[in-house]
Structure 1
């Protein structure tokens, strides 16, 4: 059997190296976030601080297609079912080579210990046959599967439905919430798209048009361009039809990948369309902390999730 810790450290080094390249071309540089004329510098978590830990494991893994990446990890709390649950979407600049679903395992496990099930989606990145439309079709199909089969795993599929995604996954969580508002007959919408009540974006990158036109985008211009194809009105939340879901953006002020300025720009764009996009910021934390179970920013997210799901002990 391969050494789990050694494999995790190797993966941390791989992801860390790729992220350093991304940070080098992002506004502010590593560990620094520029907002207007102010520049903050503070120590933040490195990927190795998270990925070097012993990795918790899901309770089940199910396939929703024939591709090796068309999978969902299911996390089921102990106790009497059905359990309230969230749909989770990982980031990694929409590229499988950068990250897969297991980067979310630590917060998935944290939610499981707090009585919340998790439907953690894998999908084909732009480097593995995804992009427009592949990635969206994968996310849509996996999310719809939650509605039809989540109950078989002891998860509550009605009530408040929450989609939560990190970085590029934040874009996909917002997209998933807007999907039912797409025109009937559109392939990305599908026949019976799952309804999302709350979309939580963790350091998300929601504006594909801005990303594709930017020379300083954290993921480079190619990835958001590939994700948009020729259809920003179908793929980029600022330009998609306005939906009914509550949207909450969590950003950290020492995050060079997705600074709070991204969230403010998105909120301003949505305000012009008569829609609200909330923003919660945490000082002194970065991109990794958003999915680290012992961070202050994650504590805020967890508290919101527990409150939304009506779980006792929510702060």
Structure 2
């Protein structure tokens, strides 16, 4: 690991803040409107869907997940991990793809995790991995196929998706190394070292060594599941660079979605004809 090779390492602290402060880039009015859309479109998507909301997946933390869009036989499952820079949002804001997927024979699982700063990032990662373990162990009881798990997430959820893609954690939980069959991180953070120099570290409290150890790009290992690494055309420059670098390391597909920004790109998962939905469905259908 080259300690000097940080994404944006040549930038000043002020320039790094611009690269990663996508809320300020969007503006408070638009940001607020989009957060309302997250909840409203999630509520609409799950209305009347078969499923099992509010299941405890991790006894240690008591955190819960929702299962949506099950059918008569076990279905492939898309586990979506919400963003919010590890300190905001919830599973209730994050099911806007459930209706679209249900109509195409795919179930959706949306886990909560304890938000920072109440939980450390190490604990948040542990919880998200525990949600994958729950799907693998208990999925069939709820109409899920544990052999067809695809993980995705947006922003901080893209980082957490990356931490389920990498090697080195599955064996301790009694899981097969390939438990995550494919992945689709949106606007992910794959090298956390730049965040030690921006406002996000107020609630993460990372030093460089911890940030490196919690970075998918730095702990990736040799195995590579199929992945569509997705970023918006008008995303924050830090997120664009992180996605480009991670794709160069991981492989798979780098998908830059035109005319979208950091917050609205993932909402396209509610539209079956959108570019991101078509790529997600292709990932799932290839399993």
Q: TM-score, normalised by structure 2?
A: 0.76
- 1:11-42 superposed Cα distances (whole Å, 9 cap, x missing partner): xxxxxxxxxxx97972795249xxxxxxxxxx
Equivalent in the alignment of 1:125: 115
2:159–2:190: 8 Å Cα contact kept in structure 1? Answer: yes
1:89–1:121: 8 Å Cα contact kept in structure 2? Answer: yes
**1:302-313 matches, cutoff 5 A:** 302-310=277-285
Distance 1:130 1:87 in 2: 22
Distance 1:298 1:47 in 2: 23
Equivalent in the alignment of 1:245: 225
**1:213-224 matches, cutoff 5 A:** 214-215=197-198, 220-223=200-203
Equivalent position SS for 2:25:
coil
Against the structure 1 CA distance between its residues 62 and 237, is the aligned structure 2 distance closer, same or farther, given a 3 Å change threshold?
same
**1:253-292 matches, cutoff 5 A:** 253-256=233-236, 259-268=239-248, 270=249, 275-292=250-267
Equivalent position SS for 2:190:
coil
- 1:189-210 superposed Cα distances (whole Å, 9 cap, x missing partner): 6242352121211111111122
Report the CA distance between 1:276 and its aligned residue: 1.6
Higher fraction of helix: 2
Against the structure 1 CA distance between its residues 125 and 29, is the aligned structure 2 distance closer, same or farther, given a 3 Å change threshold?
closer
Equivalent in the alignment of 1:200: 184
Alignment partner for residue 190 of structure 1, among 169, 172, 176? 172
Against the structure 1 CA distance between its residues 309 and 135, is the aligned structure 2 distance closer, same or farther, given a 3 Å change threshold?
same
Distance 2:211 2:24 in 1: 31
Paired residues, number: 260
Equivalent in the alignment of 2:157: 169
1:209–1:228: 8 Å Cα contact kept in structure 2? Answer: yes
Distance 1:263 1:242 in 2: 19
Against the structure 1 CA distance between its residues 49 and 146, is the aligned structure 2 distance closer, same or farther, given a 3 Å change threshold?
closer
- 1:244-288 superposed Cα distances (whole Å, 9 cap, x missing partner): 2123211111223864222113334x2xxxx42531011211122
Q: TM-score, normalised by structure 1?
A: 0.70
1:26–1:257: 8 Å Cα contact kept in structure 2? Answer: no
Equivalent in the alignment of 2:79: 87
Distance 1:144 1:167 in 2: 22
Equivalent in the alignment of 1:74: 67
Equivalent in the alignment of 2:105: 115
Against the structure 1 CA distance between its residues 51 and 264, is the aligned structure 2 distance closer, same or farther, given a 3 Å change threshold?
same
Distance 2:194 2:120 in 1: 20
Distance 1:54 1:144 in 2: 24
Against the structure 1 CA distance between its residues 285 and 296, is the aligned structure 2 distance closer, same or farther, given a 3 Å change threshold?
farther
Distance 2:68 2:281 in 1: 16
Superposition CA RMSD, Å: 3.5
Deviates more, 1:238-247 or 1:197-206: 238-247
Q: Is the aligned partner of 1:149 residue 2:138?
A: yes
Against the structure 1 CA distance between its residues 298 and 129, is the aligned structure 2 distance closer, same or farther, given a 3 Å change threshold?
farther
Distance 1:73 1:54 in 2: 12
Report the CA distance between 1:231 and its aligned residue: 6.4
Against the structure 1 CA distance between its residues 69 and 23, is the aligned structure 2 distance closer, same or farther, given a 3 Å change threshold?
farther
Against the structure 1 CA distance between its residues 102 and 244, is the aligned structure 2 distance closer, same or farther, given a 3 Å change threshold?
same
